[in-house]
Amino acid sequence: MELGGKEVNVRNKNTKNSIVLFLIFAFGLPLICVLLEKGVFKSGIINFILFGIEAAAPTLSAIIVTSIFNVKIGIRKFLKKCYIKNIKVNYVLLGVMIPIVLLVAAKLTWCVFASNTTFMKGITVKKLLIIAWSLIAEEIGWRGFLQERLDKPLGYLLAPILLGTIWALWHYHFFWLGTMSAPLILFWLGCIADSFGYYWITKKSKGNIIPVSLWHFTENMFANVLLITPEYNHGSNIPYLLCVVYSCIMAIIISLKLMCEGRQYR
């Protein structure tokens, strides 16, 4: 029993250390990249590569930390859990459909009040590549690595709130570079709301992150195609506010569902 207790303590310590190291890398890598982008490589291919590295910091951090703290599991098994095991087509489809429904609902609501607004618009190839990068750049870290480690001590209500807050704060480098224009408070609320949806669909997929990665990608894509952010609406925050409101409604519904099904997530 004493040995078992020591093993548990060691495991808990390793979990805490792995979380701390993950966050150091996840927040530190973008900082280094931004400093290089602003000070040395202000344009060109190297600037673009650095932007890709900073966007992929969560995934890179998860892989690095897994290789340090989970030698027995290994990166291959970790990635297999994230992408190969427990692929469920119904949740893959939901991962695409839910963000489309939320964003289209927000856009249609906005069109009621602003009849002259453009409903949708195409995007450049460069923008498409940047958005497509989100398929692998973040969710290995956030939902594949960090959510799993926050879930056990915090549970199905607090874990999404904390992870959503960390996720929102992590975007500091995009705001610093001026590539994001979302209102900060609304963005934070949106990240928390989305984290409930991401938590739910990842748990339903038993750790497989394909559905949540598609959700993330689809949300980013349609937010641009449907012109949701203020930069597309002459500085108006209302379309983005409507999107966050619908996301919060979704989060409340999922929270109630999680509370009803709570035992299976403990």
Mean of pLDDT values over 2-12: 59
Mean of pLDDT values over 183-201: 96
Can you tell me the distance from the alpha carbon of 202 to that of 213, in angstroms, rounded to the nearest whole number? 10
Per residue in 61-116, pLDDT tens? 999 999 888 766 688 899 999 999 999 999 999 999 999 999 999 999 999 888 77
Specify the amino acid at residue 114: A
pLDDT at 5: 63
Per residue in 242-255, pLDDT tens? 999 999 999 999 99
Whole-model pTM: value is: 0.91
**Beta-carbon contacts of residue 73 (< 8 Å; ≥ 6 apart):** 66
Domain count, the chain: 1
Can you tell me the distance from the alpha carbon of 55 to that of 142, in angstroms, rounded to the nearest whole number? 12
- Average pLDDT, rounded, for the chain: 90
Pick the more confident residue, 17 or 265: 17
How far CA 245 is from CA of 85, 182, 198, 233, in Å, comes to: 34, 14, 17, 18
Closest CA to 144 of 70, 217, 216, 203: 203
Residue 232 predicted with pLDDT over 90: no
Check: CB of residue 197 under 8 Å from CB of residue 215: yes
- The whole domain housing 43 covers 2-265
Q: Residue 41 region, left (φ>0) first, then alpha (ψ -120 to 50), else beta?
A: beta
Band of pLDDT at residue 15, cut at 50, 70 and 90: confident
pLDDT at 3: 44
